[in-house]
Amino acid sequence: MSKPKRWLKKALVQSSVLRLAGRFAPSAAVILAYHSIVENPQLTEHILGISRDRASFEAHMKMLAQKYNPVTIAEITEFVRGGRPLPQRAVAVTFDDGFADNYTVALPILARYGIPATFYIMVNAVACGSLPWYCRLRFAFHATHKPHWRAPDSDRVYPLATASDRKAALTAGWEASARLTGDAQLRLVSAIEQSLEVEPPNGERGFMMTWDQVRGLRRAGHAVGAHTLSHPNVAHVERNEARSEIVESKRRLEAEVGEVIEHFSYPHPALNPNWSPQTLELTREAGYKSAVLTTCGPVRSGDDPLALKRIYTVTPTLEQFTWNLQITFLGRSI
C-alpha cells in the first residue's frame, strides 16, 4: 500500500467519519475469527502459522470493550432469524480448533474485559491430545531436508529449494488431505511425513485443550461449538463422510460437555468453497442453530443462520484491525 493511502486510512480510522457512516448502514454484526493466542507467534510459526500474539489480542479485546458491543453467537442467531435486535456495533468473538492457549492465554483476557466467546472444537485432536494434521504438514514441509517432493495424489514433483517452493508443496499436501477424513486422512499425512523424512514435532501433545479445559470454558460462561471430527473440507468429501463429521462431532461434544451443542464452524484447511447446499442441509438435519463460514462480510437480519460470515483477524496493526471492522460494518470487503 502506498504512503498516501496509508495516511488516508489512518486519518479515516482516527476520525469519526466511518463511525458516523455506520449509523446509516443497515443493522449488522461482525463475527471475528481467531485460532491461537501465544506470547510470541514466531516461536510456533513453523507449526501453527495461525497465531496472534497475546499483546495484540488484548489490544483487540480492550478496544471491543470500549468502543463496540460484544455479543454472543446465540444473540446473533436470534437477530438473523428476525428476533431481538442487536445493539449498534455488535461484535462476536470466535475461536476455531481448540488450541490449549485459548484456555491458558485468551480466557483470562476475555474475563478481564467481560467479553463472551464461542470456541469451536476439533473433536479428534482434543480427544487424542494430538496436533491437527494441517499443523503436522506445516512442520514437515518446514523441517524437511529433501530437495523435492512427489505428491501422492497427482504424481507431480514439487521442488523444495525456496520458501515459495515449500509453500506450494504444502498447499498441495493440504488439498489432498482436506479431501479425506479420519483414518484415511491420518494415513496420508503419515505417508507425506515419511516421504519428507520428518517425524511429527516433539511435544505435539501440549498444543490442544483437554476435555476438562473445554468444560472449563462453559463454566466461565462461554459457548462451545463443533468443528468436525478430523477437520476436512466437508464440501469436498463424500456425503456420508460429511454427515459423520458434522453429526458425530456434535454427539461426542455433547457427551463430553453434558449439554446440547447448537453451533458449528466449517473448517477451511484448503480448497474452495468450504460449504455447499449439501452441507447446509446436513447442518440443518443435525440440529445446529448456527454455523459460521470463512467468507468475509457482515451479518445482517435475514441471513441464513447456518451460513454466517466472519472476518479473520491476522492484521499487522490495531489500526488495520479497526479499519477492517469499520468497513465490514459498512458492507465493504476487506
Domain membership flag for residue 308: yes
CA distance 268 to 124: 16
pLDDT reported for residue 8? 43
Distance CA 170, CA 229 (A): 22
Residue identified by cell 503436522 is: 136
The pLDDT score that the predictor gives to residue 314 is 74
Same domain, 139 and 247: no
Q: What is the pLDDT of residue 105?
A: 98
Record the pTM: 0.93
Same domain, 124 and 143: no
The answer as to whether 31 is a domain residue is yes
Exposed, middle or buried: residue 154 (CB in 10 Å: 0-12, 13-18, 19+)? exposed
Which domain CATH number covers 276? 3.20.20.370
DSSP state letter for 308: B
Do 259 and 172 lie in one domain? The reply is: no
Which three-class secondary structure state does DSSP give residue 142?
Answer: helix
Question: pLDDT tens across 261-282, in order?
Answer: 999 999 999 999 999 999 999 9
Q: What is the pLDDT of residue 248?
A: 98
Angstrom distance (rounded) from CA 87 to CA 75: 10
Please work out, in degrees rounded to the nearest 5, the angle formed at the alpha carbon of residue 238 by the alpha carbons of 237 and 241. 85
Predicted pLDDT of residue 153: 75
pLDDT of 293: 97
316 lies in which domain range?
Answer: 26-128+208-329
Residue 182 to residue 229: CA distance in whole angstroms? 8
Q: Are residues 124 and 171 in the same domain?
A: no
Euclidean distance between CA atoms 296 and 329, whole angstroms: 11
In a domain, 13, yes or no: no
Encode 285-313: b = buried (16+ Cβ within 10 Å), e = exposed.
Answer: ebebbbbbbbbbbbbeeebebbbbbbbeb
Claim to verify: residue 318 and residue 238 sit in the same structural domain:
yes
Domain boundary among 164, 195, 226: 195
- What pLDDT does residue 7 have? 46
pLDDT score of 9: 46
Number of domains forming the structure of the chain: 2
Domain boundary among 168, 195, 222: 195
Asked if 226 and 176 sit in the same domain, the reply is: no
pLDDT value of position 59 = 97
Same domain, 319 and 297: yes
Residue 116 shares a structural domain with residue 229: yes
Please give the chain's pLDDT, 334 residues, in tens: 554 445 444 444 555 544 554 554 579 999 999 999 999 999 999 999 999 999 999 999 999 999 999 999 999 999 999 989 999 999 999 999 999 999 999 999 999 999 999 999 999 999 999 999 999 999 999 999 999 999 987 789 999 999 999 999 999 999 999 999 999 999 999 999 999 999 998 766 789 999 999 999 999 999 999 999 999 999 999 999 999 999 999 999 999 999 999 999 999 999 999 999 999 999 999 999 999 999 999 999 999 999 999 998 877 789 999 999 999 999 876 6
Q: Are residues 62 and 146 in the same domain?
A: no
